[in-house]
Amino acid sequence: MTIQVGDRIPSVNFVKVTEGGPEQIASDDYFAGRKVALFSVPGAFTPTCSAKHLPGFVEKADEIKAKGVDEIACTAVNDAFVMGAWGQQSGVAGKVTMLADGNGDFPKALGLTMDGSKFGMGTRGQRFSMLVNDGVVEQLNVEAPGQFEVSSADYLLGQL
């Protein structure tokens, strides 16, 4: 079953990319007591993700946070080292937190996986954005396959 607005984020573990290296963090702890703008990309360093999705959230970070969002986070089915390198190359420091999900537990738990096998990527998370308030989904924007419209920073900013 696919997660819906009003549902609680499932309990999974992420690996948070920090300056000191990878750090395990439980989703229950990460989302507790704060408002997080979270977006998911099919993969680090992929064309749309690198050219539009992540840069949009980096560029709009101050505007999004000015609307009461405590943190902006990006997740993908990639390991922490890949997410860290992608974040460093993309200039996310202080703007977007990179959450690695190497095993794809998060999109599986949300019911938001996609099959990227024909591209040699295996099972990945769909492209989406959501606003999570104290662990509860307040906004959910899932893209149609191959699209980039409703999960953008601009679209989410318009919902705040």
**Residue found by looking up tokens 């980096």 in the block:** 58
Q: What are 58's two structure tokens?
A: 């980096």
In a domain, 133, yes or no: yes
Q: Walk along the chain (160 residues) in steps of 10 and give the mean pLDDT of each run.
A: 93 90 94 97 78 88 97 94 90 92 94 79 83 97 90 94
- The domain total for the chain is 1
Burial of 36 (0-12, 13-18, 19+ CB in 10 A): buried
Owning domain of residue 98: 13-159
In a domain, 8, yes or no: no
Whether 49 is catalytic is: yes
In a domain, 45, yes or no: yes
In a domain, 147, yes or no: yes
Polymer length of the chain: 160
In a domain, 51, yes or no: yes
CATH number at 76 reads 3.40.30.10
Which is catalytic among the residues 9, 12, 17, 49? 49
In a domain, 7, yes or no: no
Instruction: Give the separation between CA 21 and CA 123, rounded to whole angstroms.
Output: 26
Instruction: Give the separation between CA 64 and CA 49, rounded to whole angstroms.
Output: 19
Supply the pTM of this predicted model. Answer: 0.92
Q: What's the pLDDT score for residue 131?
A: 97
Q: What's the pLDDT score for residue 4?
A: 95
Q: What's the pLDDT score for residue 49?
A: 67
> In a 3-state reduction of DSSP, which class is residue 26?
strand
Q: What's the pLDDT score for residue 125?
A: 84
In a domain, 3, yes or no: no
Q: What's the pLDDT score for residue 12?
A: 96
Instruction: Give the separation between CA 40 and CA 21, rounded to whole angstroms.
Output: 21
In a domain, 25, yes or no: yes
Q: What's the pLDDT score for residue 83?
A: 92
